[in-house]
């Protein structure tokens, strides 16, 4: 079974500063996908960014970017120019691609609570 | 476009009672999921259905059953509720590896007393 580990239960950052959230995962699969989801106090789950394992280039979405280190099984999220609206729980997630048993199983880490301080 | 709809939003059960949480998606997605969210534990996968006609256990399946009724609907049943099942439950759906964004329902807050 795949496991996803987020080692930082809580973090804080000053508004306009940059923060990096860590995520590591354990898998023997070669075909998989990685995600960062945001959950604000409203409880709604929102996709922030995704990365296909077969792509070497790190994904970026506006102020959000990832550092995908496939050999190290590391997938960190960098938030630049932090805004008050970035305050939320952030979850790292892993999904196995189409390859027999366990395909499309979507597994989440325990989350990192990020607070952006004015 | 309603997305993923969960019912009910809130529920209080007595220990030993049964109930079914309903989930429906209108996006023609292949895969559907049930999670529970507890403080400090993240989202833990209970059951999932990779495609219509299949269901598989996740990390915490004990005490739950699921039914993939059709492509749209995926229900979660608690046969004999226990206080340890007090949690917030989320249903999610996902199209395929072509479009890997998972869409979530609003959650169901379940309290077992």
**Does the beta carbon of A84 lie under 8 angstroms from any beta carbon of chain B?**
no
Residue A25 structure tokens: 């995962």
What is the C-alpha separation between A21 and A111, in angstroms, rounded? Answer: 10
**pLDDT of residue B97 exceeding 70:** no
Q: What tens digit of pLDDT does each residue of A50-97 get?
A: 999 999 899 999 999 999 999 999 999 999 999 999 999 999 999 988
A105–B42 C-beta distance less than 8 A: no
**pLDDT of residue B92 exceeding 70:** yes
Q: What tens digit of pLDDT does each residue of A2-46 get?
A: 899 999 999 999 999 999 999 999 998 888 999 999 999 999 999
The pLDDT of residue B45 is 95
Query: Which sign, positive or negative, has the C-alpha torsion A94, A98, A100, A104?
Result: positive
Q: Please tell me which of the candidates A6, A91, A106 has its beta carbon nearest to residue B45.
A: A106
Report the chain B residue with the minimal C-alpha distance to residue A111: B42
Looking at the complex, report in whole angstroms how far the Cα of residue B14 sits from the nearest Cα belonging to chain A.
25
Report the chain A residue with the minimal C-alpha distance to residue B47: A105
pLDDT band at B111 (very low <50, low <70, confident <90, very high): very high
Q: Choose, out of A37, A45, A54, the residue to mutate when testing the contact with B (most B CBs < 10 Å).
A: A45
**Does the beta carbon of A34 lie under 8 angstroms from any beta carbon of chain B?**
no
Element (H, E) at A108: strand A106-108
**Does the beta carbon of B27 lie under 8 angstroms from any beta carbon of chain A?**
no
Average pLDDT of span B69-79:
96
B45–A107 C-beta distance less than 8 A: yes
A91 pairs with which residues across the strands? A37
Cβ partners under 8 Å of residue B57, min gap 6: B47
What is the C-alpha separation between B39 and A113, in angstroms, rounded? Answer: 11
């Amino acid at each position: 079974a795949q496991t996803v580990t987020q080692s930082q239960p809580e973090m804080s950052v000053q508004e306009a500063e940059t923060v990096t959230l860590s995520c590591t995962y354990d898998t023997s699969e070669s075909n998989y996908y990685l995600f960062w989801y945001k959950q604000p106090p409203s409880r709604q789950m929102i996709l922030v960014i995704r990365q296909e394992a077969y792509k070497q280039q790190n994904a970026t979405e506006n102020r959000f970017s990832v550092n995908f280190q496939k050999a190290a099984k590391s997938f960190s999220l960098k938030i630049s120019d932090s805004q008050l609206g970035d305050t939320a729980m952030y979850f790292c997630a892993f999904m196995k691609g189409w390859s027999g048993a366990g395909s499309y199983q979507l597994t989440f880490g325990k989350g990192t609570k990020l607070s952006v301080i004015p | 476009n309603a997305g993923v709809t969960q019912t009910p939003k809130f529920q209080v059960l007595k220990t030993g009672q049964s109930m079914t949480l309903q989930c429906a998606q209108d996006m023609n997605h292949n895969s559907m999921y049930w999670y529970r969210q507890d403080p400090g534990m993240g989202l833990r996968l209970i059951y999932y259905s990779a495609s219509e006609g299949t269901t598989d256990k996740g990390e915490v399946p004990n005490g739950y059953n699921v039914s993939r009724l059709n492509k749209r609907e995926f229900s979660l049943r608690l046969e004999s509720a226990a206080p340890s099942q007090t949690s917030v439950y989320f249903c999610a759906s996902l199209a395929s590896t072509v479009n890997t964004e998972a869409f979530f329902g609003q959650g169901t807050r379940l309290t077992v007393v």
